[in-house]
A and B are shown apart, each in its own frame.
Chain A
Amino acid sequence: MATETAQPAGGTTPASEPAHPEHLQLEDRIWLLRAMLLMRGIEERAMSLYRQGKVPGSFYDGYGQEAVSAGAAFAMAPEDRLCILHRDLAAHLIRGVTPSRILSQYMGRAAGITRGRDGNVHFGDRHLGCVGMVSMLPDMMLVATGMAMAFKLRGERRAALTWFGDGSTSRGDFHEAMNWAGVQKLPVVFVLENNQYAYSTPLDKQFAVDPVERAAAYGFTGVTVDGNDAEAMFEATLAARQRAVAGDGPTLIEAVTMRMHGHAAHDDMKYVPKQQVEEWRRRDPVERQERRLRDLEVDVDALRAEVTAEIDAAATEALAGPMPTADDVLDGVFATEAEALGDGQAPWSGYAKAAGGDA
């Protein structure tokens, strides 16, 4: 079982990034940048709202990790199902959650996805085929595994995907999900977001062997991908999804990246060597995609301006929205009927072409 290694080599960044034209059209590559710019912009705005006291609790972001969720989510079809982690906002955006609802969610407002019932990125829009995460990580690995199990039992060509961090590989649920998915050869894609730190704990205190090596022990493919390259993430995830729906079982994708901010807003990240941050800053995933598109003569500045305007409008809308009233705070603990998950948006041109056909 091949473990393909594409870790960033460090040092200087090449002037022009290698392209991945075999699956991505220009419109797709712009979409990827747009999703990452939106994620970064929304999170920056949310951080400033947090500092203004408008975001209760704490605030978690995925600065520097935008490519991991953007690239992976972009490879998934409308009928696929996703369990998204807290540093993966781009996945929600790609599935179709609007920036205004996300900012409302952060601020605990009525228009947030959970209507104030849960905070920050603890949400999943069920109408878009997503199930929100819980704080116990990586619990959603098992939920994704169960979704994939149902797809396989029903003979459906669909896959489930979930993200989790390097710290999660130490929990028992990581083992239980990897083992179950391997035994039953399920159509599930596991994206291990290796961002070097689990809160303050570095990798060398987390595991003795790189967890991507474990995939082989569970009987399936493990690949290491440059997690700061959205297009590489897309390609790896697309290949994993293809294996999944072809009946060839799960894939563990280790996305190597770096958490460029603290664990949460309160965390000054003193435990991270400055040099490490500086090295990774040169590999910024947003700048990298920008360079690619500038080389292709895309007006990146115009795109940036467009995204900023969209976030401004979203913030205005979210700030104008009411806080939830407590009238129904006791309602909804139990369901009265089982509602289905809906399909998400899947903007990749490959799916757009297939729409109406065998999507």
Chain B
Amino acid sequence: MATLTYLQAISAALRDELRADERVLMMGEDIGEFGGAFKVTDGFVAEFGTDRVMDTPLAESAIIGCAIGAAVVGMRPVCEMQFSDFISCGFDQLVNVAGKMHYRQDLAVPITVRLPSGGGFSGGPFHSQNPEALFMHSPGIKVVAPSTAEDAKGLLHAAIRDPNPVCFMEHKHLYRRVKGEVPDEIYETPFTARVARPGSDLVVIAYGAMVEVALQATADLDGASVEVLDLRSLVPLDETAILDSVSRCSKVVIVDEANMTCAAGAQVAALIAEKGFEDLDGPVVRVATPDVPIPFSPPLEQAVLPGVDRVKEACRDLLAY
């Protein structure tokens, strides 16, 4: 066990996989000698060489498309989008080529796409997005979103070893803010939800950076017993864990950092409406970013991103319902 930041845990998983499996290679912009925009692959070239930690042309569609080609002939590519926002330029390859491949022709596409996502640091409209729901809506793509260092490593191991395309949503705001004990060995975290804190009066369902927000907002909420459910995986979505929490707590607040409409939380809300209705003791409440681009200036950005105060208020209102 070592205490690692979320970013160090991601680096550790990548290094372990490059050492363990010669089929694994990394592809991305500036990830080689430079070590990546966030230094996730800092020092990798010295150990693994430029073939396995490959600086690519500035071409996101090509990064995904070439990864698909390499994957179907036996490689295990791990693509880095420099920012998750840029996946828009690789969307077609991911959604139409990779996502539909196995259903159409029984051909697996074992690629992992790392997507540094999220806002909170004045990244502006093109360096702050949370595009995960786009891929939830596209069959054939798994989507995971760790909130802790331990899960960042374990989910990345599992993603790289999964025979399917996996979007690995790594939240930039957590990179150096979150630390934790991380096992040294390779371990695969299952694509299931995790109870971050058990409770019985209300459950806050979140993932990624919003898990920490939910924990802080409900640490001391007038003595209420508040559960926090960390989804960890959005595809597959852990329906059992969600409905168990609803059954235990009867009141639900769902937090998304993504834009509100059709976000992951909207799917969770729909699931609860369909299958958990009888257990509810109040309306399903959502806290998310309104449907605006993420603004640049700190007061504007803070005004739209869900924060501790908004989550606290939503929980208080629902508890009083």
Query: CB within 8 Å of B: which residues of A?
Result: 81, 113-114, 117-118, 122-124, 126, 131-132, 134-136, 139-151, 153, 160, 172-173, 176-177, 179-180, 183, 332-341
Q: For residues 66 through 117 of chain B, which have their beta carbon under 8 Å from a beta carbon of chain A?
A: 66-75, 77, 92-93, 96-97, 100-110
A2 CB to nearest B CB, Å: 26
Taking the complex as formed, is B220 at the interface, i.e. its CB lies under 8 A from any CB of chain A? no
Contact: B104 with A173, CB < 8 Å?
no
CB contact list, B28-59 vs A, under 8 A: 51, 56-57, 59
A54 to chain B, nearest CB (A): 21
> Looking at the complex, which one of A153, A180, A337, A341 makes contact with B163 (CB distance below 8 Å)?
A337
A341 touches B62 (CB 8 A): no
Contacts of B96 in A (CB 8 A): 134-136, 139
**For residue B97, which residues in chain A have a CB less than 8 angstroms away from its CB?**
134, 136, 139-140, 143
In the assembled complex, the Cα of A172 lies from the Cα of B101 at a distance in Å of 21
On chain B, the residues within 8 Å of A135 by CB distance are 96
Is B68 a contact of A153 with CB atoms below 8 Å?
Answer: no
Q: Considering the chains assembled together, what is the distance between the CA atoms of A150 and B24 in angstroms?
A: 11
Query: Which B positions have Cβ atoms within 8 angstroms of A?
Result: 25, 51, 56-57, 59, 61-62, 64-75, 77, 92-93, 96-97, 100-110, 139-140, 142, 163-164
Known interface pairs A114-B105, A117-B104; A145-B62 also in contact (CB < 8 Å): yes
Interchain CB contact under 8 A, B57 and A145: no
Check A146/B105 contact, CB under 8 A, given A134-B100, A334-B142: no
CB distance from A158 to the nearest CB of B (A): 9
Considering the complex of A and B, which 6 residue pairs feature the smallest CB-CB distances, nearest first? A146-B69, A142-B65, A146-B66, A335-B108, A176-B62, A338-B108
B71, B72, B108: most-surrounded residue (chain A CB, <10 A):
B72
B99 and chain A: residue at smallest CB distance: A333
CB proximity of B242 to chain A, nearest CB, Å: 20
CB distance from A95 to the nearest CB of B (A): 14
* Nearest Cβ on chain A to B101's Cβ, whole angstroms: 8
Q: Which residues of B contact A114 (CB under 8 A)?
A: 104-105
- Report B-chain residues with C-beta under 8 Å of the C-beta of A132: 104-105
Pick from B92, B96, B106, B109 the residue with the most CB of A within 10 Å. Answer: B106
Q: Is the CB of B66 within 8 A of A145?
A: yes
A128 to B69, CA, bound (A): 16
Report the bound CA distance from A147 to B97 in whole Å. 14
Residues of A within 8 A of B102 (CB): 332-335
Q: Which A residues lie within 8 Å of B68 (CB)?
A: 142-143, 146
Q: Shortest Cβ distance from B229 into chain A, in angstroms?
A: 24
With a CB–CB cut-off of 8 A, which chain A residues contact B51?
Answer: 153
Report whether B62 and A131 are in contact in the complex, using a CB–CB cutoff of 8 Å: no
Q: In the complex, which residues of chain B have a beta carbon less than 8 angstroms from the beta carbon of A140?
A: 97
Q: Are A333 and B93 in contact (CB under 8 A)?
A: no
- Contact indicator B66/A142 (Cβ below 8 Å): yes
Least CB separation from A140: chain B residue: B97
On chain B, the residues within 8 Å of A145 by CB distance are 62, 65-66, 69
B66 touches A149 (CB 8 A): yes
Whether the pair B163, A338 counts as a contact (CB closer than 8 A) is yes
